[in-house]
């Protein structure tokens, strides 16, 4: 594992431990589909493929999260029956992430 991979994983662990618990919502992909959050998915991709080789998978995950956000926000039938209610919006970087309440 390269130095950049280790640094990226340390950054993700810092985010998951100190920032994520305080923000009060999940990523849209996890809120809609269940399973792992984007930070967990990106960490897994980095561990399996490395940051450089995993870049297309990272981009695909963020695109899927954006699609999930749009579905949740629009009330799409895709989001029908989801366990999450979207109450607000936080824009962290290029992807707006819905607040999760309830």
pLDDT tens per residue, range 11-68: 999 999 999 888 877 899 999 999 999 999 999 999 999 999 999 999 999 999 999 9
Element containing residue 64 per DSSP (H, E): helix 55-74
Q: How far is residue 46's CA from residue 1's CA, in Å, rounded to a whole number?
A: 9
Instruction: Give φ, ψ of 95 to 5 degrees.
Output: -115, 115
pTM given for the model: 0.72
Q: What is the dihedral of CA 76, 73, 33, 30, to 10 degrees?
A: 180
* Mean local confidence (pLDDT), 72-91: 59
- Band of the pLDDT at 100, cuts 50, 70, 90? very low
Q: How far is residue 69's CA from residue 81's CA, in Å, rounded to a whole number?
A: 15
């Amino acid at each position: 594992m390269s130095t950049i991979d280790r640094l990226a994983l340390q950054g993700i662990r810092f985010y998951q431990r100190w920032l994520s618990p305080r923000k009060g919502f999940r990523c849209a992909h996890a809120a809609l589909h269940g399973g792992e959050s984007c930070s967990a998915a990106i960490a897994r991709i980095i561990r399996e493929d490395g940051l450089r080789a995993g870049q297309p998978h990272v981009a695909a995950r963020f695109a899927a999260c954006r699609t999930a956000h749009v579905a949740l926000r629009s009330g799409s039938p895709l989001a029908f029956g989801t366990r999450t209610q979207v109450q607000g919006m936080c824009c962290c970087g290029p992807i707006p992430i819905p607040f999760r309440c309830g």
